[in-house]
Structure 1
Amino acid sequence: MGRAAGKWLALLPAVMLAATLAGCTSIGVQRVGIDRTDYTRQLRQSDKEQLLANIVALRHGDAPMFLEVSSVISQYSRESTGELQAAIAPAVDNDAGAIGGSVVLRESPTVTYTPLTGERFSRSMLAPLTPAVVLATMEAGWASDLLFPLAVRSINGVGNGSSAPLFEQRADPDFAAVVAALRRLQRTQALAIRVRQKEETFQALARVRPALDPQELADITFLSERLGIERGAGELRVVFSTYPHDRGELAIATRSMFEILMELAQGVEMPGSPPPASALVRIRSGAQAPAGAHVAVRSGDSWFWIDGHDESSKRMFLLTQVMMSIADTGGGSGSPLVTIPAG
């Protein structure tokens, strides 16, 4: 084998490397897993921070403002270059040849934001949640003693309390007892909630199990007497109202998301005004948020956060996020669309 041919063979691996760099391996295949994880994590964190910021703003007397991420388009481009130089004449060994190349990967993300305003703001924030939505959440397993104090104004005229100045009212002495009885019956599945679609509306029905133990029987008796429900009526019709029309109805008056956020805002720590003992969530404040905060935002010169070890506040905050998603009736723009070209 001649000397020139040997030098060409020595350059063969480098030539193959250059061809690989300039190849057509799909960027999308390599990026999908990374992008989905990164965007999901960031969107989740951003939603938490925006919700907390609006709760803090309401506590300071400012109007809520939600800016939704309606789409995320992440576009990639790859530019590759290669260069090969070779000398055939056996002049000097160092002049046998040279190879070089480069690959540049560029990302051009486009994020679309949609402010929650107008009719959609009215539907999502000012309209009361439907009883079917609240009971469907209960049917899905959410504890009634967490759900009802947050989302319900009254059950058959038994009123929930509110410490928000715009909606302030004293709680009925039996409201907590009614919710506790519902929770015990929910835990033992003695009270079944069923939500079904009827034409273009949803109908919620409640049914009591025939065979009851002594505690369940005591709870059913208490609820029947306090709520004015007829025993043995079979399924109860659930309606949106303060008071039932007859003893076969369960009338539930629900809060709007604006009311819910106002209620949570009463749990924000303010100088000289500690949150009431009945606050549904505890939002701490200080010059700097701790490292282990569940979520933290800066407002003015202070930081506000939910403690990472405050399980009660974290559960209530999570439930509020769920209620926000359910209350959003704006159609397809309600959830972010993440588009990542995979070609």
Structure 2
Amino acid sequence: MNRMKHVLFIAAVASVAVAIGGCNAVGPAALGNGRAAYNNIVNQTEDEQILAAIVRLRYDQTFGLLAVTSITANISMRSSVDVEAEIGPGSSFEGSTIGAGVLYEENPTISYVPVRGEQFVERMLAPLSAEQTLLLSRMSTQDFEPLHLLVRRVNGLANPLFAPGDSNEGFNHFVELFRQLRQQGVLDLVGSQSGAQEVFIHDFNQRQAGDVVELLATLGINRSVQPGSDLRIALHFFVGAATRDAMEIETPTALETLRAASRGVAVPAEHVAVGIVRADTMAEHERSPLVVHASRERPLQASIATRYRDYWYFIDEGDVTSKQTFLLLRTLVGLRLDAGAKGQLAPILTVPVGR
């Protein structure tokens, strides 16, 4: 019997050691799994609230934003050991059991702050700065040119997204030429030695020279274009009448950019019929690069989706241009959220997620 007690004691100690070792392993595993899960859900909900804001603007409705300020996850672990044994004559240990376990518990607390106040309003209604415009313009790809949403007017050419019915296709032609030359590596936006911004056109061949001439003609700039020579054109950000010796850009506000993008939201015919939203009357050259579909049923192939007025509004997973457009909008709003929330006196909503 003493021998059996000794064996059970050793086994119990070993079980405790295993349980403690399990606790030590749970910590890193919890960090590895929890961090990715929290990051994914924060990113997903940020996408959803930006898409919801765009959809609400299509319906001429106000929208609100909540910024996640902190996530605190309290992790607790407890170990337990259970021993059951039969004590009696004989050397058999049948019926004796030893069990060890680890109880893992996680209680996250999430804090939100409403994005509002004078500073936020100013940032949403102030035109994009030169620095922000140049920074975001670097998100250009072969499928999407950010200038469609970052420029209201250039050298007198009105962007049809911001001035529907009061523009022609000249602006879109400028954007396409600009995108082609930049993608080919012969056009860059650079800083001069004096600190001013310039359009630098360089290393272009005879074929590309034709596109350069066409670009300058579209902008009303008269310059001699010779393959092998460089062109430096001053880049000005202005509001007012344009001169013809530089590339002069008028930028929109962040709110105007979101509203322009919202023109790509498809709306149900029944909503148009009852007058809660205006019908789509845009010409082809006035269309937003962002396309948002509407469906009664939850979409299966959606990159991002949000529900509004009994419909699902979503970006198709296979629509590369719309996804890249949304990435630009998300980045732009992110800049505004970060800037607008600093020092802002607003109530913080803290939500503990308990058992």
Band the TM-score falls in, shorter-chain normalisation = 0.7 to 0.9
TM-superposed CA distance for 1:98, in Å, is: 5.6
Q: State the match for 1:60 in structure 2.
A: 59
Question: In the alignment, which residue of structure 1 is the partner of 2:254?
Answer: 257
Structure 1 distance, partners of 2:260, 2:173, is 21
* Pair 1:28 & 2:12 matched: no
> What is the number of residues matched between the two proteins?
325
CA distance 1:162–1:85, shift in 2 (3 Å): closer
User: Which amino acid is the alignment partner of residue 173 of structure 2?
Assistant: A
Could you say if the C-alpha distance between residues 190 and 98 of structure 1 is closer, same or farther in structure 2, counting changes exceeding 3 Å? closer
Q: What is the aligned counterpart of 2:236 among 221, 234, 239? A: 239
Give the counterpart of 1:302 among 304, 311, 314. Answer: 311
Instruction: Please tell me whether residue 279 in structure 1 is matched to residue 272 in structure 2.
Output: no
Task: Spell out the pairing of 1:71-150 with structure 2 (5 A cutoff).
Answer: 71-84=70-83, 99-139=98-138, 141-142=140-141, 146-150=145-149
Give the alignment's Cα RMSD to 1 decimal: 3.4
CA contact (8 A) 1:22 1:82 kept: no
Of 186, 190, 193, the match for 1:190: 186
Q: Work out whether residues 139 and 194 of structure 1, in 8 Å CA contact, stay in contact via their aligned partners in 2.
A: no
Q: Distance in 2 between matches of 1:12 and 1:223?
A: 85
Partner of 1:219: 211
Q: 1:204 aligns with which of 197, 207, 211?
A: 197
Mapped to 2, the partners of 1:197 and 1:289 lie a distance apart of: 54
SS at structure 2 position matched to 1:70: strand
Please report how far the alpha carbon of residue 137 of structure 1 lies from its aligned counterpart in structure 2 after TM superposition: 2.9
| Partner Cα separation in structure 2 for residue 305 and residue 191 of structure 1 | 35
Which is further off, 275-284 or 304-313?
275-284
Equivalent position of 1:288 in the other structure: 297
In structure 1, the partner of 2:154 is: 155
Distance in 2 separating the partners of 1:96 and 1:196: 86
Conserved? CA contact 2:143–2:321, under 8 Å:
no
Which whole-Å CA distance do the structure 1 matches of 2:248 and 2:339 have between them? 27
1:155 touches 1:242 (CA, 8 Å); kept in 2? no
Q: What does residue range 319-334 of structure 1 map to in structure 2 within 5 Å?
A: 319-330=328-339
Give how far 1:258 is off.
0.9
The code of the aligned residue for 1:253 comes to E
Shift of 1:173: 3.5
Q: 1:131, 1:238 within 8 Å by CA — same for their partners in 2?
A: no
Alpha-carbon spacing, 1:87–1:70, altered in 2? closer, same or farther (3 Å): same
How far the C-alpha of 1:279 sits from its partner, in A, is 2.6
Retained in 1: the 8 A contact 2:123–2:340?
no
CA distance in 2, matches of 1:238, 1:101: 71
In the TM superposition, residue 16 of structure 1 has moved relative to its aligned partner by 0.6
* Farther-moved stretch of structure 1 (258-267 vs 324-333): 324-333
Q: 2:145·2:175 contact (CA, 8 Å) conserved in 1?
A: no
Unaligned runs of 5+ residues in structure 1 are 335-343
TM-score (normalised: structure 2): 0.78
SS of match in other structure, 2:24: coil
What is the letter of the counterpart of residue 79 of structure 1?
R
Q: Tell me if the contact between 2:156 and 2:242 (Cα under 8 Å) persists in the aligned partners.
A: no
* Distance change in 2, residues 1:11/1:178 (3 Å): same
Work out the CA distance in 2 between the residues paired with 1:258 and 1:322. Answer: 14
Q: For residues 232-265 of structure 1, what are the alpha-carbon distances to aligned partners after superposition, in whole Å with 9 as ceiling and x for unaligned?
A: 7953332221457655532111112211211122
Q: Is the CA contact (8 Å cut-off) linking 2:140 and 2:146 kept in structure 1?
A: no
The answer (yes or no) to whether the contact 2:297–2:311 under 8 Å persists in 1 is: yes
Q: TM-score, normalised by structure 1?
A: 0.81
User: What per-residue deviation string (whole Å, max 9, x for no partner) do you get for residues 56-107 of structure 1?
Assistant: 1112221121111121111211122335577888589569966444432111
* Residue 160 of structure 1: how far off its partner (Å): 0.6
Q: What's 1:177 paired with?
A: 173
Q: Unaligned regions of 5+ residues in structure 2, if any?
A: 225-229, 273-278, 344-355
The answer to whether structure 1 residue 40 and structure 2 residue 36 are counterparts is: no
Q: Percent identity?
A: 26
